[in-house]
């Protein structure tokens, strides 16, 4: 109760929620765009995909340090591009923007890769059929590709949100939680390992766990039948039969089935 009635918890909670929502939303849009690009690229496909994934592959702490270095006034190459005298990591709003940038830079590849894998499941003939029926690119994306990818989108958004809500490394290194930028995980860490308030710290851990569980629950409810484990028998077939019969131009049968 001491935690729930404390202003620290709620301000950290608000900051965490803000960072989570904004970064996951940006990551989803960027990730989808990247996935579509990676999906369609023919020349240098391996290279494109590998390059896109590199930020995710860099050790988080090292990446966070290089961001911090880049934004430090005087020595940082990015700070030098800003007007002289500005120190973005000492201001709350600017720090949060930078934390979100670092977070988005780091984990968009995760989102992009999962969405790319989801894209691989959208049948090409369905898209061609829609094109023949006069659906534009935007309609094809929102009416066919996204609904077909729903399970993949659920997994990508769910796991990213769970991770983003527990953001720690990036904030710890970029601002150390100063100027009101601390996340709930920072709060828990400070109480457990810095102040040795074991009771308060444990209560915070439990609260984080409950928040995360709540997020997961909401996601699974929102996506309903697309969640793993729900009954799906025959779903695909009924779905297909509602669509006009796809034209099968020289059917791209996988070699497996020849």
Q: Write out the binding residues for other proteins, residues 23-52 only, by CB under 8 A.
A: 39, 45-46, 49-50
The distance of closest approach from Cβ of residue 253 to other proteins in the complex, given in angstroms and rounded to an integer, is 5
11 near other proteins, rule: CB under 8 A: no
Stretch that binds other proteins, among 4-12, 18-26, 92-100, 241-249 (CB under 8 A): 241-249
Query: Of the two residues 179 and 216, which places its CB atom closer to other proteins in the complex?
Result: 216
Residues touching other proteins, count (CB under 8 A): 75
Exactly one of 29, 121, 195, 198 binds other proteins (CB under 8 A); that residue is 121
Contact flags string 77-116 toward other proteins, x per CB under 8 A = x--x-----------------------------x--xx-x
Residue 92 or 232: which CB sits closer to other proteins?
A: 232
Residues 181-200 that bind other proteins (CB under 8 A): 185, 188-189
Q: For residues 169 and 179, which CB has a smaller minimum distance to other proteins in the complex?
A: 169
Structure-token pair, residue 164: 């983003």
The verdict on 8 binding other proteins (CB under 8 A) reads: no
Rule CB under 8 A: say whether 229 interacts with other proteins. yes
């Amino acid at each position: 109760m001491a935690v729930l009635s404390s202003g620290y918890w709620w301000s950290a909670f608000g900051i965490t929620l803000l960072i989570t929502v904004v970064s996951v939303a940006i990551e989803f849009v960027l990730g989808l765009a990247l996935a579509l690009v990676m999906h369609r690229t023919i020349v240098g496909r391996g290279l494109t995909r590998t390059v896109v994934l590199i930020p995710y592959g860099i050790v988080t702490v090292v990446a966070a340090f290089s961001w911090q270095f880049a934004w430090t006034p005087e020595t940082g190459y990015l700070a030098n591009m800003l007007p002289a005298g500005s120190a973005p990591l000492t201001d709350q709003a600017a720090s949060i923007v930078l934390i979100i940038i670092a977070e988005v830079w780091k984990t968009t590849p995760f989102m992009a890769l999962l969405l790319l894998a989801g894209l691989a499941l959208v049948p090409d003939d369905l898209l061609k059929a829609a094109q023949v029926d006069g659906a534009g690119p935007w309609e094809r994306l929102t009416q066919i590709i996204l609904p077909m990818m729903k399970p993949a989108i659920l997994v990508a958004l769910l796991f990213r949100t769970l991770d983003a809500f527990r953001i720690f490394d990036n904030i710890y290194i970029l601002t150390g939680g100063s100027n009101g930028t601390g996340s709930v995980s920072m709060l828990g860490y400070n109480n457990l390992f810095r102040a040795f308030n074991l009771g308060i710290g444990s209560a915070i851990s439990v609260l984080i766990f409950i928040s995360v569980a709540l997020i997961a629950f909401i996601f699974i409810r929102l996506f309903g039948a697309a969640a793993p484990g729900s009954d799906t028998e025959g779903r695909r077939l009924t779905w297909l039969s509602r669509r006009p019969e796809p034209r099968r131009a020289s059917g791209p049968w996988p070699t497996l089935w020849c």
